[in-house]
């Protein structure tokens, strides 16, 4: 019966939604196109939860269904009512297809090339030997070391690139554990968690932070240093909580890790090319846009160099986790549909924020953002909610004692980055899931707890700093 429900629920509920009249939905002005997106969204969510098919296959289904049902080059049968008042706006087919070659996919590809080259020329093993040596042999402290290194890197460079790099270092560490040791789960999970949390420490750590800064102007202006004044303490506390939570849920059976990582840095011409390219890529990522390139452009530099020099050959290309790229593409396509059809905006505007107390508005907005960020791009979520939160913060005088607009924007910004309950929620999660050591339900258990606690903690921290005059 359970196996039957695993297949029937993800299919039946979206079909029911498609057949319902528009008047049955609680959203005023809902269009036929938006109704179809709701059905696709539910199908995706249920398939990712129940996993009747591989999660990468769900992502491919999302893209194909969007092309068939809500694109301007879909089946003619589904475009018969185009132009009618309640039909809505179709998406451009090339925008949907472009999700397969989104800049974030290129960033992934660059990360994969770095990881493959590092493994092939033992750079990952040697980095593990050097970086983890100060943290001793106790598994929980070795994991702490991995989390700290990941968190610091994520403050200044792409979370995805950091995760790809750290997971390559992680490979020899996980090999020490037995096949059924929970330590494998803990170590594979700690990297994306640390990357997601670390990105909140600086304005450039993650895109939602930069989006928030666009609305923190005038009296609400926050400098780079002021952001770090509350961002870094938040990261430190959340990192400590995450470390304790992962240790509690997935405590390693093995009480000591003998990291007898032997070897030395290779000195062949190709190995030196890998070291130089690896270092150059990281430096360029750390330098941000000061050189005129964004992280996506930088990510293609190792792809070109390693391909040109033969460091990565056609046999190596077969080892790339293409399923992960498809998984992320589906998430991007889902966010695109929610955004471009106006469905996400319609849902947000359907909630009467001004009818609630300021506390209800703060927590309601933050938790709404947290839920949305688990199913769509953090950047898209922040882009969608931030203008609404800025207007809401300005218009609600009752928010002033709690920090007003600045508190609302910052709490929602942090909530956007705390959406990390599913493999699709963030690229770091997808990369960790691709290792095969972490299951979706294990990721959800940690992600939900940290998300809820993080939202509450961000409110308390921002309010305290506002009270002592550090922000706002």
pLDDT per residue as tens, the chain (472 positions): 666 777 788 888 888 988 898 888 888 889 999 999 999 988 887 887 677 888 788 889 999 999 999 999 988 888 878 878 889 889 999 999 998 888 878 877 888 888 788 878 877 667 767 777 788 778 888 889 889 888 888 887 778 878 887 887 777 778 778 778 888 889 889 999 999 999 888 877 788 887 787 777 667 777 676 787 788 889 999 999 999 999 999 888 877 776 655 667 788 899 999 999 988 987 887 676 678 787 778 889 999 999 999 999 989 888 887 877 887 788 888 888 888 888 877 876 776 666 777 777 788 888 888 988 888 778 777 877 777 777 776 666 656 666 566 778 888 889 999 998 888 788 888 888 888 888 888 898 999 999 999 998 888 877 776 666 555 5
Structure token digits, residue 55: 């999660």
Say yes or no: 66 and 167 in one domain: no
- 153 in a structural domain: yes
Interior angle at CA 459, CA 192 and CA 210, nearest 5: 55
Kindly state whether residues 230 and 169 are assigned to the same domain. Answer: yes
Residue 281 forms part of a structural domain: yes
Q: Is there a contact between 409 and 391 (Cβ–Cβ < 8 Å)? A: no
Tell me which of 304, 321, 338 is where a domain ends.
321
Answer yes or no: do 110 and 40 share one domain: no
261 closest CA partner among 390, 358, 124 = 124
Residue 461 placed within a domain = no
Dist CA 171 CA 191 (whole Å): 12
Distances, alpha carbon 118 to alpha carbons 157, 165, 211, 358, in Å: 18, 9, 34, 51
* 289 and 341 share one domain: no
Question: Which two three-digit tokens encode residue 107?
Answer: 């960033």
Both structure tokens of 239: 């990192």
Same domain, 159 and 256: yes
Where among 321, 337, 366 does a domain terminate? 321
Instruction: Provide CB contacts within 8 A for 152, sequence distance 6+.
Output: 198
Establish if 131 belongs to a structural domain.
yes
| Domain contains 77 | yes
Q: Is residue 394 part of a domain?
A: no
Domain span at 234: 103-206+224-321
Predicted confidence at residue 61, as pLDDT, reads 92
73 with 178, same domain: the answer is no
Please give the pLDDT value at position 34. Answer: 92
Residue 44 shares a structural domain with residue 55: yes
| 199 and 230 fall within a common domain | yes
Residue 171 placed within a domain = yes
Is 282 found in the same domain as 327? no
Q: Kindly state whether residues 186 and 154 are assigned to the same domain.
A: yes
CA-closest candidate to residue 295, choices 276, 280, 281 = 281
Our count of domains for the chain comes to: 2
Closest CA to 364 of 425, 418, 408, 410: 408
Q: What is the pLDDT of residue 274?
A: 92
Q: For residue 310, tell me if it sits in a domain.
A: yes
Burial-class residue 18 by CB neighbours within 10 Å (0-12, 13-18, 19+): middle
pLDDT at 237: 93
For residues 329 and 282, state if they share a domain. no
The pLDDT value recorded for residue 291 is: 80
168 shares a domain with 90: no
């Amino acid at each position: 019966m359970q196996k039957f429900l695993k297949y029937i629920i993800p299919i039946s509920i979206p079909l029911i939604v498609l057949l319902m009249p528009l008047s049955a939905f609680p959203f005023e002005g809902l269009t036929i196109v938006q109704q179809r997106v709701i059905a696709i969204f539910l199908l995706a969510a249920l398939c990712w939860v129940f996993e009747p098919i591989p999660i990468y296959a769900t992502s491919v289904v999302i893209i194909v269904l969007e092309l068939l049902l809500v694109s301007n080059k879909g089946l003619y049968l589904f475009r018969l009512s185009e132009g009618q008042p309640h039909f809505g706006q179709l998406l451009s087919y090339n925008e949907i297809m472009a999700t397969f070659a989104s800049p974030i996919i290129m960033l992934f590809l660059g990360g994969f090339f770095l990881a493959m080259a590092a493994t092939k020329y033992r750079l990952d093993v040697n980095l593990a030997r050097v970086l983890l040596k100060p943290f001793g042999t106790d598994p929980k402290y070795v994991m702490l070391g991995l989390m700290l290194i990941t968190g610091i890197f994520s403050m200044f460079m792409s979370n995805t690139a950091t995760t790809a790099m750290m997971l390559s270092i992680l490979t020899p560490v996980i090999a020490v554990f037995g096949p059924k040791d929970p330590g494998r789960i803990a170590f594979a999970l700690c990297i994306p968690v640390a990357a997601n949390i670390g990105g909140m420490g600086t304005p450039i750590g993650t895109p939602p932070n930069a989006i928030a800064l666009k609305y923190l102007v005038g009296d609400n202006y926050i400098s780079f240093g002021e952001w770090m004044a509350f961002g870094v303490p938040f990261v430190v506390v959340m990192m400590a909580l995450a470390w304790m939570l992962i240790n509690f849920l997935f405590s390693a059976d093995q009480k000591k890790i003998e990291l007898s990582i032997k070897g030395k840095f290779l000195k062949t011409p190709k190995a030196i090319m890998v070291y130089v390219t690896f270092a150059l890529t990281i430096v360029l990522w750390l330098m941000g846009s000061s050189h005129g390139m964004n992280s996506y452009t930088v990510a293609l530099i190792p792809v070109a160099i390693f391909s040109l020099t033969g460091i990565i050959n056609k046999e190596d290309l077969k080892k790339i986790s293409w399923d992960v790229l498809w998984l992320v593409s589906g998430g991007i396509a889902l966010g695109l549909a929610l955004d471009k059809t106006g469905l996400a905006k319609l849902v947000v505007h359907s909630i009467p924020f001004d009818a609630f107390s300021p506390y209800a508005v703060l927590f309601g907005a933050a938790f709404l953002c947290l839920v949305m960020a688990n199913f769509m791009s953090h950047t898209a979520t922040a882009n969608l909610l931030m203008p609404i939160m800025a207007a809401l913060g300005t218009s609600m005088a009752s928010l002033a004692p709690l920090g007003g607009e600045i508190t609302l924007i910052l709490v929602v910004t942090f909530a956007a980055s705390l959406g990390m309950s599913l493999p699709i929620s963030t690229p770091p999660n997808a990369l960790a899931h691709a290792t095969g050591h972490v299951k979706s339900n294990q990721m959800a258990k940690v992600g939900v707890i940290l998300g809820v606690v993080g939202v509450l903690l961000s409110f308390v921290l921002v309010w305290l700093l506002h009270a002592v005059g550090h922000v706002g």
